[in-house]
Each structure stands twice: as C-alpha cells, then as structure tokens.
Amino acid sequence: MSKSRVFFIILVAFITGVFARSFFELGNNLYFFLLIFSLIFLAVFYKNKKIIVAFSFLLFFIFGAWLTGSKIEETRNLPYAGRAIQAKAVVQKASGVTFGQNIIVRDDQKKNILVQVPKYPEHNYGDLLDINCILKPIENRDADFDYKMYMAKDGVLYQCDKEEIKLVAKNKGNFWLDKIFHVRNLLQENIRKVIPEPEGALASGILFGGSNELSKEIQNEFSQTGMTHIVAVSGYNVTIIAEYLIIIGIWIGLWRKKAVWFAIVGVVLFVIMIGLPSSAVRAGVMGTLLLWAMKNGRLANSENAIIFAAAAMLFFNPLLLRWDIGFQLSFLATLGIVFSSPIWEKSFVKKNKALGISEIIALSLSAQIFVLPIIAYNFHIVSLISLLANVLILPVVPLSMLLVFLAALSGFVFAPLSMVLAWLAFVPLTYEIKIIHTLAQFPWASIEMKKFGVWWIIIYYSILAGGICLLGKKNFKFQMTNYKSNPKSK
C-alpha cells in the first residue's frame, strides 16, 4: 500500500471523526475504550501493515471526534455569561439585517461579541466602540436554524443585552483590511448610483457575494431554481467562475496553462475584492486547488490535495463541517468536479461541443450531484429545474461580473463611461432575473424536503461513493483505487 494512499485514508478518518461527533453525542468513555482497543491491536499486530492502517484509521477517527467534542464543549461552558462588561471593542464585521445592524466586536480580552443595534448610525470595520452591556449566550431564533452554533463557528459565543454603545474613534482595525473594505464599500456605492433595483442588488451580489439586498420574493425564486450559488461565496460559485476565466484567458490568446494562472490570479483578486471573509477564503482555496489540478493535468488524481485542504481547515475549526454551509458546498462541489468531471469528459463533453454548453452541463451536474443532500438538509428544498437554469444563466454571469466591475471602477474616473457600462450590464442582469422569475413560476420547479435527516445524507453519500468506485474502474483512474499504477505516488 503506497504512502499516498495511507495518507488519504488517515485524512478521511479524521474528517469522518469530525462528522460523527458533529451530528452524534460521543462520550469520553467511548474514546478511551477505542483508544485502548486500538493501541493493544497495534502492539500485537505491529507487523501486519493492513491492521496498522485499519487501526490508524480508528485512531485518527478518535482524534477528529475528540477535537470536535472539545470545541462543542467550549460553546456550552461560557464563564462570562450573565456578567456586566464595560470595555472598548473594535468592530470586526458589520452587516445589515431587517431590524438594523448586526455587528461583531472584539474586546481587550479577545472575546468576539455580537451586538444588535439600530440601522443608524452605520458602523464599519475598524470602529472603536465604548460598550456597556450584559453578556448572554447567543440565542437560537427558530427551531430550523441553529444560530448559536452558526455564530460559534466564527468564534462568537456571546451577545450583548441592554447594550449602550458609543463611537470613540474610527480606523482602529488592521490597516490593510480597512483599506480593502473601504474600496469595496466605494465600489458598492458606485454600483448603487448607476444600476437601479433589483438589478443593482443582483450586481452587488454576484460581484461581492450575498443576497441580503435582494427582495425576499427574488431570494425565494433564486432558491426555487437552484441559483443562489451565483450570489453566494462558496466553491460552487468560485469553481464555475474559474472555469470561465480560463475560457476568457484562452479567448484573449493565452495558452491553456497560462490561462489557468490567469484564472488563479482572478480567483485571488475576487476573494480580496469582496473583503476576505472566511467563507470566501475557504472557497478560494478549494477553487485554486481545482485550478492547480487542471493546470498539471491531474484533475482525476487530485483528491488528496482537496481532502488535505478540508482536513487542515477542520483541524483549526472542526465546527465548520456541520455549521458552515459555505464550507460544505465548497468542499463537496470541488470533490464533485474532481471525481465526476472525467466521466462526463469522456462520455459526453468530447462528443457535444456546442458553444461550451456541454462543459456547463458537466460542471453543473458534477457539483449538484455532490451538494444535493446538503441543500435538501439545510434548506429543505430541492430544485428540479436547476440544471436548465444553470445552462441558461451561467454563460452570461462572467459577462455580468465584468461589466458590473468595470462600471463600478470607472465611477472613480469618468461618470459618463460608468453610466454607459452600467446600461450594458443592465441587459444581462435583467435577463438573469427574468429567466429565474419565469422558471420559478413552474409548479414543479422545486420540491420541499422537510424530513431529510442525517441518516439520509449518510445513505446518499454511501451510494454515491459506491457508484463512483464502480464507474471509476471503467472510465478513469483515481488514487483511491489505482495508487499502485501511479509512479508519483510511490
């Protein structure tokens, strides 16, 4: 058994342990029993390589589960709950919500605290606030969404009650982040000036991520048609954007390898431009790994790199696996493209090269097959019309992004040019909204999945893994089944 295969098995064991503890209660007694059991067998059968690998899997499973349990326990033991604090804190993040603003502040003791304040005055990254409040655990707002753990995965365990806040100073955050956020805010303001609603909200969403500015009706239509990924910062979005950046690079005269570097630079700039949120960084890592695999001709043999990236992220923050939907979509969509695209490439794409539509279908199917149960579990809805919507919408998304970006950028230099580019961008933006609205009207556009639980996820991915293995033997080689035939893995 090759070293790379053993490495792959260990990474999968760790991720499996994180998954198990994220969804099920596992006590310390179980960890202790499995640990002793594994060590005894390793001591007795230390010469048997297969048994060593098997029990190494169990050991890393235990480690992943224990690490996750420790993080979950931190969210339950809150020593500052109920205490009154008076401190100076710096705003780390500010976002608009229906009742006003949610701001995340960090005090002198490095605690991240959620403060809910009115819409005005507006707060921004780097604002230094004088805060007087009583700390309490974050409360869940409804039974279907674990808001407490959603915030905990970003290190926010407390929220302010009976808060009194006062602005002391501005620009007290990280200098470079402050400048990046300032530029982003200016670009968003330029978009609002020249592109009317709802197209303006969509323009801001596809360029910077987020659908909060869209009306609830339009947000529901995006969900029904499976198109929320075009305004969400996840690997599902980044990988599609990267693919089109490669096409653009080739179209402007670059060789394919240079076009891939062009796409990698584009992904990095995209992540920086939208303000380096953690979800975007994770999506960027997955997208860049995928591009690296494509550049080196190792798309079907790059799962080790993808799994390693996921395991590394979970090592530092195991709460991501269950409570960060962006991580789930980024990781699974990237894996879907890595595992499934070679199948489509051989059986479908090469035979059907109609204006690149076959590649869009292949990428969309690859990603959607892998993210389907996650969408059903988290959103309780599955779009039946998503494939058609992707085929009709995705070809114009890069054009929309380019024109919106140019319109926002030219607003700093020459306002009339910004207006012209805005009207050019208005055409594909209107097209996207109209197509999504039309498709959402079909009664069979989506179905509700209210009772799609964890065990359905496990069953689905077990069947999917089996199917991939069976198809892999016939259609392409990948490390899970063919490490021995790959000289580089030995």
For residue 478, pLDDT beyond 50: no
**For residues 373 and 381, is the Cβ–Cβ distance under 8 A?**
no
Q: In the chain, what percentage of residues exceed pLDDT 90?
A: 18
pLDDT of residue 120: 83
Query: What is the arithmetic mean of pLDDT over 224-236?
Result: 74
For residue 484, pLDDT beyond 50: no
Tokens for 306, please give them.
Answer: 């993808």
pLDDT of residue 365: 74
157 compared with 183, residue with greater pLDDT: 157
pLDDT of residue 273: 64
**For residues 98 and 116, is the Cβ–Cβ distance under 8 A?**
no
For residue 475, pLDDT beyond 60: no
Q: Which long-range contacts (CB under 8 A, 24 or more apart) does 228-232 make?
A: 229/329, 230/205, 230/206, 230/393, 230/394, 230/397, 230/432, 231/202, 231/205, 231/206, 232/326, 232/329
Residue 458's CB is within 10 A of a number of other CB atoms, namely: 13
For residue 5, pLDDT beyond 70: yes
Query: What is the arithmetic mean of pLDDT over 231-253?
Result: 72
Residue with tokens 């960890």: 31
**For residues 22 and 75, is the Cβ–Cβ distance under 8 A?**
no
pLDDT tens digit sequence for 313-339 = 899 999 999 888 878 877 887 788 777
Q: Look at residues 238, 283, 233, 281 and name the one whose alpha carbon lies nearest to residue 263.
A: 238
pLDDT of residue 234: 60
Query: What is the arithmetic mean of pLDDT over 389-400?
Result: 82
Q: In the chain, what percentage of residues exceed pLDDT 70?
A: 83
pLDDT of residue 251: 83
Residue 346: DSSP 8-state: I
pLDDT tens digit sequence for 122-150 = 888 889 999 999 999 998 877 778 889 98
Give 479's pLDDT tier (boundaries 50, 70, 90): very low
pLDDT of residue 480: 41
Give 49's pLDDT tier (boundaries 50, 70, 90): confident
Question: Taking the CA of residue 359 as centre, how many other CA atoms within 13 Å lie in the half-sphere pointing to its CB?
Answer: 14
For residue 483, pLDDT beyond 50: no
CA distance 329 to 308: 16
pLDDT tens digit sequence for 6-37 = 888 899 999 999 999 998 888 888 888 888 87
77 compared with 244, residue with greater pLDDT: 77
Query: Residues near 470 by Cβ (< 8 Å), separated by ≥ 6?
Result: none
For residue 482, pLDDT beyond 50: no
242 compared with 6, residue with greater pLDDT: 6
Lowest mean pLDDT among 168-177, 335-344, 400-409, 455-464: 335-344
CA distance 379 to 220: 11
Residue 45: DSSP 8-state: S
pLDDT tens digit sequence for 254-282 = 887 788 888 888 787 777 766 666 667 76
pLDDT tens digit sequence for 425-455 = 999 999 999 999 999 998 888 888 777 888 8
CA distance 471 to 480: 13
For residue 410, pLDDT beyond 90: yes
445 compared with 47, residue with greater pLDDT: 445
